[in-house]
Amino acid sequence: MTYARAERAALADLLVRLGQTAPTLCEGWTTFDLAAHLVLRERRLDAAGGIALRPLARYTASVQESLKAGHGYAGLVELVRTGPGGPYGLVPGLDEAVNTLELFVHHEDVRRAQPGWEPRELPTGLDEILWKRLRPLGRLTLRRSPVGVVLHRIGGGVALGGPAGGPRVEVTGLAGELLLFCFGRQRHARVDVTGDDRDVARLMGARLGV
């Protein structure tokens, strides 16, 4: 089983256990909304553009609501579980290459919105994959950072992001925690952040991510 499939299965199990009204770290979204987002992203490419592009966001939101109405919560969770859908299920290796990070982040979006959560101990292979994918994405996910960022991975590895020159903030943690930090979950990532207090505060409040 690939790591993408393992994350998909674990996330689907968690969605079933929590039900459709549980909170997530995605602002304003319940587990029902998140399940619809995942299905839309894989199976409705005509509407996926609005995930990142504001001019298309209204259409994306309407399709997401139609998926909720048409499939119901249980149906959407089953589509998540039995995926990948769309081109991700047709091109060998595409699911693992593209969806591993997406499924990991959204799995943690659900886990970390619940009381009493603790970080998972990730398989070594998954930790390596997350770091391998994060390194080239660092500059993209940190492009809106108001300060330079130095990512220090526990276990080895350094990556840079944010503006060159000027003040820098050091962020240290495991690969999965650094990934969540860079994808805009700064306050829910178990990392050590060091630097000038004002620079740290600006980074913690920045809108990071793709």
Which is it for the CA torsion 74, 121, 111, 107, positive or negative? Answer: negative
Same domain, 8 and 107: yes
The CATH number of the domain holding residue 175 is 3.30.1050
- Are 161 and 183 found together in one domain? yes
- Asked if 13 and 103 sit in the same domain, the reply is yes
| pLDDT band, very low/low/confident/very high, at 58 (cuts 50, 70, 90) | very high
- Which pLDDT score, from 0 to 100, does residue 86 have? 76
Please tell me the pTM assigned to this model.
Answer: 0.94
- Residue at 119 is within a domain: no
Report the domain count for the chain: 2
pLDDT in tens, 153-193: 999 999 999 998 889 999 999 999 999 999 999 999 999 99
Question: For the stretch 6-33, what's the b/e string if a residue is b when 16 or more beta carbons lie within 10 angstroms of its beta carbon?
Answer: bbbebbbebbeebebebbbbbeebbbbb
Residues 6+ apart with CB under 8 A from 105: 179, 180, 183, 185
pLDDT given for residue 1 in this prediction: 85
- Do 92 and 145 sit in the same domain of this protein? no
pLDDT tens for residues 5-56? 999 999 999 999 999 999 999 999 999 999 999 999 999 988 888 788 788 8
